[in-house]
Structures are given as structure tokens and as C-alpha cells.
Chains A and B, each alone.
Chain A
């Protein structure tokens, strides 16, 4: 069913693209759609190209897992449009021509600028392309049941066809189609969330939908016996503690996470051919009577009944009265000899990590379930201090016998903390934390908000859309349509994120699946549609990026390197070849960066764009003494510093396999350093090269 809807969407998109591609002719047509797109359509296409997989999947996932900090991305992404509309739009349109480097070059006629700007567009496009391709794979993998890299290849292949075949016009209409659909379904899903309301019990429409196991994790009270804990025999007969692992706070040295491994027995149900199953965390995987994993799980008999004995991990917590209890968690263990256990028994199609999340307590007035609830009420209920959300967290360690274990546990977080900034980008000083760390955390937050705010206007695939509208007035109107549409979408992300968490349908291994899983909790049809839309979203974004790269290479880099005049035909061909090459590069990187957080990656793309492109754009428009050399220097410094700082950041350091704390660059967000640096370089170099250039004010 899902596959059918999927295919319908893909075919429609391709049909629209092929049809509209026949209408694009010549260089002007290929790159800038002959300026023939009406402003309303263009506005929604703006939205469609801007609302990438990162917005749609990533932010919803970030909010579901980290609360308000995910919404920071929504705010920043949208706020950036202010600069795009009020400062950049009008002057850019007036200057005309095909690409962003051309606009920069309007007054300077310097091949150096063409080259530098083209290079910058290429780098930023690649940075933005990678999270889209990663997202494509993450999306397709569970939907169609094919491996991640196939998903990336399929999407990459289709986009290359669209772009190399039809160029800009087809891309615009693809994006219009997508933008409209995205908005509509986001709103529908948000309304569905409101109608369902929030309950302390996991929610789904029908029982027994395959893959939609939702299970309420158990709690058992325990008693301390000196340093050890003891289980209550009534709660779990025949259970015993077989392991413990603690994590300690970096600054105070206190235990802040304590996990216990419990060996316990669960009533078994016999199946055919000497197999048994049991109800393990909401699933009933069939297990053979004899097992090579005898040290880990087995079948035993007690009091004339059959049981399956498993070992699973639980977390130690304290209730409001200060009494200790254990909260059931999930685990995935890779054993020394290579086998994998999930929740104590072998991993398999019937036994994978279960979905998590949910709300364990609501304010007294709501009792156990809120029922249908209004939009403002939902937000205020969720920010109430007596609401308790269950956020999925994970801890990784290796046990004494060499088993590499990831425990997925829940962190109870009260509503008022959840609905405030600080869960993902810490702001408040933790006990015992050195002042430098607090300062760096806050700088990191500022750096992120700065990069998001300044990056929008500088994104190459946004800029290129300024040139596809007939005139200046239309350009402005289309941006207003875009802002209104995008603003509406981002408001809904708040509800989608909350809804995903409340429905208890989060995949603990990846936050990117939160939005589709939320849709699935309402039913398969909605799930298929949302997945189809995410699919077209990726197509739209990726095709826009490849177009920008094609323009940069064909028009600017090659145009400025080769002395002779190049024929239009050759330019188009160069554009097409670039599309294919960049597309293939995107596929390779998308596979290579599998598992990386998509929104985080996009934040980086924004930082690079803001550092490389924006200072040049703004100063050229508003400062008469800007010189060509200044622009070239600023762009190059912007690209190199932002990319360099990213490659030296703690996140990348742990990606390479080293200790994040040893990274040369202490911040994860480079913006606060690279953006002012690029501005400064532009100003200084311009002042130094005043005599050499005939600097003139912008047209």
C-alpha cells in the first residue's frame, strides 16, 4: 500500500517535470526559466525548495527528542527570511543576470570574483546536499525495506534525470507541487494531533499494526541493601541482578546514570516445532528451544510452567517521595562473536528496538487523557511543570565480557523544562561546571542563532529563485507568499514534534523518523502520503541545489577560467554535465554520512553560506568602497574559516573516532567566529585596495 502511494507520487512528479521541461529553451530557459513563472507559484515554490527534509523530518525529530531547542531551528530558519526579503531581494532583482556570482560581479567585471563566488556556491551546495541525501536514505530504508544506500541512489538518480533533462522550469514546478503538498499535510497532521489530544497511554488507531508496537515500560520498586539494591520478590519472582553500569557527572563526579541488568523470567507460549515465544516489551518473537546464547537467554521450567529467561537493562530512578525504583529500558548488544541481541534475545525482523516516548503524567485537571484539545491549550499543558515527558536517551558502554551495549532509556523531563531552551544547547550553569564551559555553551547558542539568521539570505538555491519572476514587484510578492507559507509550516512543526513525542512512537535510534512515525500512528494511508511528500521534498531540494551548482560551474567557474567566449550550447552542456557529476558526488557522500543528524548538518551549511556569501552581498549593496579584491578575499576567507572550523569541531572529532573534548575548536557552531571574520576581511582588504580599483556604487 505504501509502495503504491509512493510510486504514484514519484511518477506524477516526473510527469510534471517532463511536461514543463519542454517549455524551457535556451540558456535563459535552462538557468532562469525565462522569467515566466507567476509570483504566486514562485512563492510556494520558494517554500517548497526551502522546506527541505531537514525542516520536515529533522526539526520534528529534534523537538520530539529535545523539546524547545528543536524549535530554535524553526525560529532561526524563518527569521532569516527577513534579511532575504528586506535587504537583498529588491537590489538583487534589479541587477538581474543569471546567477549569484553574476550579481556580485555586476560592478567589478572581475574574473576573480566569478571564480570565488562560483566556488563558494559549489561548497555551500554540497554542504546542504549531504543532509538531504542522508535523509533520503533514512526515509526510504524502512519504508520500502531496502538498504540505506539504495534509497540514496534511487533519489539521486531521479533528480539527475529531472535536472539534466529539463533544467530550471521543471525544478520550479516540482517545487511548487511539493511546497503546496507539504503545507497541506503538515496542517492536516497538526490538526490530527490536536484532535487526538495527549494521554498517558500510548496511542494508535488499530491494535496489532505490524511494526507499531507501543508498550508501556514497567516500573518496579526496589530497596537498598547497603550499596546494592534488592528486588521485590512479589513483583518479579525468580529475578536477580546480574550487572550494573554507572555513568558519572564530568564535573561533580557523582553518579548521574545508573543501569542495572536484571535476569528475569517471562511466561512462555509454545509455538510449533519446538519454538517458544513470550511477550517481551510488546513483541512476541519466536525463539528456538535450544540456543547458542545460553549465557544470555534460555528456556526454563519452574513450577510446571515454561518460561523464557532473559537479561535486560533497567534504570535506577527516584520518585517524588525519594524512594528508589527501576524503570524498564531497551538495549541493543553486539556481542564479542558478532551476534546481536535486542532486549535480551536475538535481533530479527520480529525483534527490533521498540518505539519509545510518551507522556507519563499530565496536570491534575486533565487526569489520564486530555481528549481533543485546542492549539494554545496543548502548548500550555505541555509547559506545565506537572506534565512529565519521557524523552528517549541512549548510553553506550562495553561490559566486562566484551559486549558492546547501547541502552535506550527514558529520561523523565517535566514540561516546563521541555518547553524552554536548554536541553540540547545548554544555557544554564550546571553544578560544578567550570565557567569556561558555561561561556562556551552560551557562545555556541549565540553562534547557532546568528548563523541561522544570516544564512538564509545567502543560500545559493534561494538566490537563484529571485531571477525566475517577471519583475521586481512580483519578486517581492512571491517572497511574502513564501514567508507566510513557511511561517505557517514552522508553527505546525511545534505541534508535530509534541505530537510525535506524545504518541510514544519515536524510534530511539534516529530522530529523523519522528514525523513519518507520527503519521503512521494515525494510520497507514496518512503514513504513505507523508512519506511520499518527504520523497518529493527531497527531490525538490536536491534538484534546486544541483541547479545552483550547475550554474556556478558552467557559468562562473568555467566562464571565468576560459578566455574565449563560450557558446550558449556549450554552457548548457557544461551545466548538464555538472548536474550529473554533482549528483553522483551527492550520492556518494549521502551514503558515507549515514546516521548523522540532518538538522545539525544543515545548520552548518547555513554557517558556511553566512560566512562566505553574505558579507560580500551586503557590503557590495550598501558600502561604496567595496572593491573586487575585498570581495574575493572575504568569500575565500569565509569559506575556508567556516569549513575549517567545522572540520575541527568536537562533533567532527568524535566522528573521526577521537575524543570530542580534545578537538582544537571548542565550539560546534563556527558562525560567531567566521562571519565577523569575513566581514572584517572584506572591509580591510577593500580599504587597502582603494587606489587599484574603480570602485563604484551598486546600480
Chain B
């Protein structure tokens, strides 16, 4: 019997979500590297809140990573009951 969560969020979709979010983030990250390399003087431009582009972009990258992590978890919530055994061979144990 397949748990309902599994129907709502099959593994393929989880992986697809993950890859899409990664590609999205990679583009943002690549943008930072590209600007730094090809237009380093832009990094000094004043942006929001009195911060220059370098600092805003850098802090932004950190913030976006955390945000995407939360989004990813939200997109495909797995209830506690779904227990996929992680270890197939149970080791000998004298508990």
C-alpha cells in the first residue's frame, strides 16, 4: 500500500524539484562570478539599504540558499510515517 504522501510527491518529482532549484541557484551564483570577473567596478555601486552590490549580492546568495531550502522542503513534504529503511543488512547487535 503506497502512503498518500508518496502519491502526491513521487520521487521523480522530488528529484526534478531539486534539480530545477539547483539550476536556478547556479544561475544566480554564476551571475555573481560573471559580474566580478567582467565588470568588477559594478561591485562598488550602491544598491539597497546603503550596501554596495558586492555585499548585497553576497548576503543575497546566502539568504537565497536558505530560502530555497525551505521552499524545497515545503514543495514535497513527507509525513513522519513514511519510513524507508535506510539500512538493508541489519548488523549483528547485542542490544
Contact = CB atoms under 8 A, between A and B. Distances in A.
A480 B78 CA distance: 14
B32 A75 contact: yes
Contact of A85 (B11, B37, B51, B69): B69
A420 interface: yes
Contacts of B41: 428
A574 to B, nearest CB: 15
Interface in B46-84: 49-52, 54-55, 58-59, 61-63, 65-66, 68-70, 72-73, 78-80, 82-84
B66 A483 contact: yes
B57 to A, nearest CB: 9
Contact of A82 (B51, B63, B65, B90): B65
Interface of B, secondary structure class, is helix
A416 B50 contact: no
Given A90-B15, A416-B52, A420-B43, A484 B37 contact: no
B58 A71 contact: yes
A476 B73 contact: yes
Contact of A568 (B18, B68, B92): B92
A442 interface: yes
Contacts of A34: 93
A472 interface: yes
Given A420-B52, A421-B54, A96 B87 contact: yes
A79 B86 contact: no
Interface stretch (A52-60, A160-168, A184-192, A374-382): A374-382
A468 B21 CA distance: 25
A472 B49 contact: no
Interface residues of B, number: 53
Contacts of B18: 85-87, 90
Nearest to A477: B73
Contacts of B15: 90-91
B93 A85 contact: no
B8 interface: no
Contacts of B94: 25-26
A28 B22 contact: no
Interface in A464-518: 467, 470-473, 476-477, 479-480, 483-484, 487, 490-491, 494
B78 A68 contact: no
Interface in B14-39: 14-15, 17-19, 21-22, 25-26, 29, 32-33, 36-37
B22 A87 contact: yes
B55 A473 contact: no
Contacts of A85: 18, 69, 72
A579 B91 CA distance: 21
Given A419-B54, A420-B52, 5 more contacts: A85-B18, A91-B15, A427-B37, A449-B32, A476-B78
